[in-house]
Amino acid sequence: MLSTKEIIAKTENYGAHNYKPKEVVIVKGEDAVVTDPEGKKYFDMLSAYSALNFGHCHPEIVKAAKDQLDKVTLTSRAFHNDILWKFCKELARLTQKEMVLPMNTGAEAVETSLKTARRWGAFKKGVEEGRQEIICCSNNFHGRTISIITMSTDATARKGFGPFTSGFKVVEYGNADALEKAITPNTVAFLVEPIQGEAGIIVPKDGYLRKVREICTKHNILFIADEVQTGFARTGKMFACQHEDIAPDIYVLGKALGGGIMPVSAISANKDILDVFTPGSHGSTFGGNPLACAVALKAMEILQRDNYPEMAAEKGKYLTDKLKEIKNSKIIDIRGKGLLIGVEFCQDAAPYVAKLIENGVLARETHERTIRFAPPINISYEELDKAIAILQRVLTE
């Protein structure tokens, strides 16, 4: 087997440099532990940005994939398959919606929600086509397509990619009054993350999402919740919007829906929204493929059967309490919900991340000063305690 350095060198040589990964190579993963080419083991405290809520290679999800591999993996949407309806029915039930539109990646699901909102605005609300407006938030992260980076306030994501897509407005995150002031007769939707992950685990004040729900209903605009990172139990509820007992008009879902095996995404909404689509108006060759549906069905089964929301809530409190015991004057905030936790420093957090990795904990800084901790939800308390011991040792001043 090639060494870590050799693998990184070859990857850098042949692959475009659109990422700057930490210098760790993962060749094997099981539950919350991964192994590099030299045999060194690490606790994965990032979980592929919440895609690995079930840990690495969950045996039941792997089996579901293997079983489906022996049957049929892809039909495209030119033909029916016998499992797509089961996936759509279960996801609709889980989200308490009536219909589902499957895609593959989170960015595709966001794009699908934008197209849904624009068409709904033109066909249902009566906004003149080409004048539909969608409002989003500062410091958002919804993906990296041209339309999505139009909404971004991150210069790195935008530089050199213009011209951008028209029809978007940006308001301050967490400010419901700013949202209401930005609404015009042409506004068709508001897109928001219930918790901003890439921005540094930013949790809005209690009542924000409830106020957003009221405003969207009052002005007849669609409330779109991007729960790609926060969905499927990560924050201690099945969906983060449930912390305020509200539901959006459209859920945007992905990451953990694929069980750490497949890219699976979807939007979920009621029929009076999703019925704007007609044959040929939107689609994806791989969206709703049988292999992805089999994996997602098993993932949803495990989420509910093993009560992952409760698991995330309990372990999240346990981890947060332990992090708050750390004595370091440079830590200025510890925040989050469930097992989506940010530790913010008054300085660059990268040196701490480097030391954590050196000591066997995989984590990553976001927005320079914040370390995100989001281990697999099914991490055992024994593994969590071992990881916490490393965190406390490394992060103590």
Contact 33, 43 (CB under 8 A): yes
Burial class (CB in 10 A: 0-12, 13-18, 19+), 362: buried
67 token code pair: 């079983």
102 token code pair: 């499957």
pTM above threshold 0.95:
yes
Question: Residue 170's beta-bridge partner residues?
Answer: 136
Distance CA 157, CA 144 (A): 7
CATH 3.40.640.10, the chain: domain bounds: 71-305
Phi then psi dihedrals of residue 141, to 5 deg: -140, 110
User: pLDDT digits over 6-30, tens only?
Assistant: 999 999 999 999 999 999 999 999 9
Tell me the average pLDDT across 312-320. 98
pLDDT at 397: 84
Region 71-305: CATH code: 3.40.640.10
- Domain 4-57+307-395 in CATH 3.90.1150.10? The answer is yes
Share of the chain above pLDDT 70, in %: 100
User: pLDDT digits over 40-62, tens only?
Assistant: 999 999 999 999 999 999 999 99
User: pLDDT digits over 181-238, tens only?
Assistant: 999 999 999 999 999 999 999 999 999 999 999 999 999 999 999 999 999 999 999 9
Distance CA 193, CA 195 (A): 5
Parallel/antiparallel/unpaired status of strands 41-44 and 99-103: unpaired
* Mean pLDDT (the chain, rounded): 97
| DSSP tag of 354 | H
CATH 3.90.1150.10, the chain: domain bounds: 4-57+307-395
Give, for 10, the enclosing helix (H) or strand (E): helix 4-14
Of 43, 32, 54, residue with least CA distance to 380: 32
What is the per-residue burial (b if ≥16 Cβ within 10 Å, else e) of 202-239?
bbbeeebbebbbebbeeeebbbbbbbbbbbbbbbbbbb
User: pLDDT digits over 86-133, tens only?
Assistant: 999 999 999 999 999 999 999 999 999 999 999 999 999 999 999 999
Tell me the average pLDDT across 54-79. 98
Q: What positions carry a catalytic annotation? A: 141, 226, 255
pLDDT at 90: 98
Least confident of 155-164, 209-218, 314-323: 155-164
User: pLDDT digits over 250-284, tens only?
Assistant: 999 999 999 999 999 999 999 999 999 999 999 99
